[in-house]
Amino acid sequence: MDESDIKVEENDTGLYVRTLEDVKLITKHAKLDERSLTQVTQALYYPSADILADNIKLLELDEHLLQEIRLGHKLKFKGGLNEDVVLCTEEKTYDIKGAEISNSLLLVPDLKFAAATSTCPLKSPRTRNVSLERSLNSSTEDEPTIERVLEQHKILRIFHEYLECREIHPRFRKMGELLQLTRFSGPENEEYIEQKLLFSYEQLLDTIQCSEKQFTEGLRIYRVVEYNGYMRVLECDYEFRIVNLMVNLIEENSWSLDEIERDETIEALNGIAPRQIVEGLFNLYTTPTTDKPGKYTYIEELVARIVAQNILRPGLKFRLEEFLSAWQEALPDGIKCDKKYLRALGIICREGVTTSVRSLVEEILPTNIHDRLKILFKTKTKWTLDEIEPYMEFFTTPTLTVTTLLAKYARSLMEKGIRHYVSKH
């Protein structure tokens, strides 16, 4: 077909467009029976220079993301200057990565598909199907000719890549790092706090790469309290002192462990610590007693951990039996110490003549997996899965387990039927 056979028209923007004569001529040269085609022809045009669509991105959605959009919920992108961007819903967090597309994808507004390109009168679903089939397949001479319609469509953008979403665990580490800069150690020391480093609830939520639901969980994990409108973590010694005073009231008032009085506890510490701090710690360390309205129960694990952390000072090493004895004596009656409460807080070493325990806090370990493993295997040469898991969960995703990571970055061996992990080098 010679290009001179095709006539074009120029619209008011100076662009050349196809005509109905072009369509008929192309159909003829392609040796197609026009009656076998639907009645609407759509001509597509590449984006012109005046169309600015660089701000349009192609985003992959899983069922959760799609449902959030359908429900009218917001999706939020979060990321600082030196951070990879994440996408957050109200419940989940997704890592965002650019991925190439093998075939180009065209974004064409109002483009019609399938039956929408047939202009035959449709009276019912059955009539619609018959009419479309006749329009597509009929080639008999007695079939009436239907006037063809030509529609012009501009391609808004051509995509060669898209944003791939992968669900990840919330990135809480930044919360701890930021709040440690302004840790609370008593109102008398507030004059030394850099005010510009303080974060309100909303400011911290906008900064931390996680959903709002996960953010609430992060506040609980880092034991964050609100003081004078800002989110604060407490200096360890200060927090231990206040919690210790709170739990000592159990014996002083002869309370049962599940009958703790909230108002009396807060009033008893009036003048010792700010009310907001005491209220915040009480809310963190207790839970309402199920069958006793207005009464509370201390969360055994949290109380046991803050006491253990006070004993397990960095650099110190204890015989396991001596540590367990000192730990239990420091706890109020009815609250038991348990080695499982040392998770991500301290490690038990059985490699020497005597079994010992020492401090190893996950929060202060490097965020690079190679650097972290180097420290872990220097501290302890052999680890069981249960022992090393708390220190490796930081690098996992919903589809990448600790076992998978260790298979790649460590060696495993069996001793007395128990699998241990050792350094790969």
pLDDT digits (tens, 9 = 90+) for 318-327: 999 999 999 9
**The pLDDT of residue 113:** 84
299, part of any domain: no
- Across the range 405-417, mean pLDDT stands at 93
Burial 12-21 (b: 16+ CB within 10 A, else e): eeeeeebeee
The beta strands (E) that lie in 144-191 are given as 149-154, 157-168
Residues 68 and 115 in one domain: yes
Question: Residue 52: what pLDDT?
Answer: 66
pLDDT of residue 123: 42
Same domain, 98 and 213: no
Residue 6 has pLDDT above 80, yes or no: no
Q: Is residue 114 part of a domain?
A: yes
Does 409 or 134 have the greater pLDDT score?
Answer: 409
Domain match, 105 and 82 both: yes
Are 183 and 94 in a shared domain?
Answer: no
Q: What is the pLDDT of residue 132?
A: 47
User: pLDDT value at position 119?
Assistant: 65
| Shared-domain flag, residues 162 and 101 | yes
pLDDT digits (tens, 9 = 90+) for 9-19: 555 445 578 88
pLDDT digits (tens, 9 = 90+) for 247-266: 999 999 999 999 999 999 99
Query: Can you give the pLDDT at residue 126?
Result: 47
Q: Are residues 84 and 178 in the same domain?
A: no
Exposure class string for 392-423: b at 16+ Cβ within 10 A, else e: bebbbeeeeebeebbeebbeeeeeeeeebbee
pLDDT given for residue 157 in this prediction: 85
Q: What is the pLDDT of residue 405?
A: 96
Residue at 215 is within a domain: yes
Residues 162 and 179 in one domain: no
- Residue 291 domain-assigned (yes or no): no
The answer to whether 104 and 160 are in contact (CB under 8 A) is yes
Q: Tell me if 224 is assigned to some domain.
A: yes
Give residue 89's pLDDT.
96
Task: State percent of the chain over pLDDT 70.
Answer: 89
Domain finish residue from 166, 190, 224: 166
Q: Say if residue 177 is in the same domain as residue 145.
A: no
Q: What is the mean pLDDT of residues 188-212?
A: 96
Are residues 147 and 52 part of one domain? Answer: yes
- Domain end marker among 131, 149, 166: 166
Residues 6+ apart with CB under 8 A from 30: none
Average pLDDT, the chain: 88
pLDDT tens digits for range 361-384: 999 999 999 999 999 999 999 999
- What is the C-alpha to C-alpha distance for residues 263 and 241, in angstroms, rounded to an integer? 19
* Cα dihedral 352/357/363/369 (nearest 10): 10
Do the Cβ atoms of 104 and 155 come closer than 8 Å? no
- Cα separation, 228 vs 137, in Å, equals 76
Task: Report the pLDDT value the prediction gives residue 4, as an integer from 0 to 100.
Answer: 43
* Same-domain check for residues 108 and 191: no
Q: Is 127's pLDDT higher than 80?
A: no
Same domain, yes or no, for 155 and 183?
no
Q: What is the pLDDT of residues 327-357, one digit of tens each?
A: 999 999 899 999 999 999 999 998 778 899 9
CATH of the domain at 394: 1.10.10
Q: What is the pLDDT of residue 23?
A: 86
pLDDT for residue 144: 52
pLDDT at 15: 59
- What range does the domain containing 398 cover? 365-425
| Token pair belonging to 43 | 């001509």
For range 50-59, the mean pLDDT: 77
- What pLDDT sits at residue 345? 95
**Number of folded domains in the chain?**
3
* Domain co-membership, 42 together with 162: yes
> What are 204-255's pLDDT values in tens digits?
999 999 999 999 999 999 999 999 999 999 999 999 999 999 999 999 999 9
The confidence band for 131, taking pLDDT boundaries of 50, 70 and 90, is very low
Domain boundary at 116, 145, 166, which?
166
Q: In this model, does residue 269 exceed pLDDT 60?
A: yes
Region 398-413: mean pLDDT is 94
Q: Exposed, middle or buried: residue 4 (CB in 10 Å: 0-12, 13-18, 19+)?
A: exposed
